[in-house]
């Protein structure tokens, strides 16, 4: 694929994502954050297994940022559930940092599993 075609494809994808984000409900936006976090962890795991340390670190950093976005969306005044989610998100951020430092696939799998569980519950809530 030549660079012009590649750039067109990238720009088309980005503009499609922007349109999806602009039209998404708050519920869908949270789903998209979960999906993005899971995707970044999966990419980081693949990079780690290929010994592509820079790519692993970049994607773990992005996953941490996404989880930070999920944390910032919480209204902690809403009670115990919000506080428990905040604690869980903070735990996941710490574990991802540890996975990055130790190059530990098992920790990536652990955090991915936790994020999947929360996403399944969120998906079940519906819009």
Evaluate whether residue 120 is within a structural domain. yes
DSSP classification of residue 77: G
Q: 47 CB contacts (<8 Å, ≥6 apart)? A: 53, 55, 56, 59
Note whether residue 38 is domain-resident. yes
Query: Has this prediction a pTM greater than 0.85?
Result: no
pLDDT digits (tens, 9 = 90+) for 38-75: 999 999 999 999 999 999 999 999 999 999 999 998 99
C-alpha to C-alpha distance for 51 and 46, rounded to whole angstroms: 9
Asked if residue 75 belongs to a domain, the reply is yes
In this predicted model, which residue has the larger pLDDT, 106 or 6? 106
| CATH classification at residue 57 | 1.20.120.340
- Look up residue 55 and give its two tokens: 């790519």
Are 43 and 59 in contact, with CB atoms under 8 Å apart? Answer: yes
In a domain, 70, yes or no: yes
Which range marks the domain in which residue 106 is found? 25-125
Q: How confident is the model over 80-107, as pLDDT tens digits?
A: 999 999 999 999 999 999 999 999 999 9
Q: Report yes or no on 111 lying in a domain.
A: yes
In a domain, residue 86? The reply is yes
Phi, psi (rounded to 5 degrees) for 75 = -105, 95
What is the structure's pLDDT at 9? 47
Q: Is 12 a domain residue?
A: no
Confirm whether 62 is domain-assigned.
yes
**What is the tally of structural domains in the chain?**
1
């Amino acid at each position: 694929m030549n660079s012009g075609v590649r750039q067109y494809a990238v720009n088309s994808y980005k503009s499609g994502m922007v349109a999806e984000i602009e039209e998404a409900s708050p519920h869908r936006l949270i789903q998209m954050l979960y999906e993005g976090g899971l995707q970044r962890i999966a990419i980081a795991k693949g990079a780690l297994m290929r010994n592509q340390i820079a790519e692993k670190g970049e994607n773990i950093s992005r996953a941490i940022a996404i989880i930070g976005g999920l944390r910032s969306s919480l209204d902690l005044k809403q009670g115990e559930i919000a506080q428990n989610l905040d604690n869980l998100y903070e735990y996941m951020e710490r574990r991802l940092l540890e996975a990055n430092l130790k190059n530990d696939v098992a920790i990536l799998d652990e955090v991915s599993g936790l994020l999947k569980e929360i996403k399944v519950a969120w998906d079940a809530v519906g819009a």
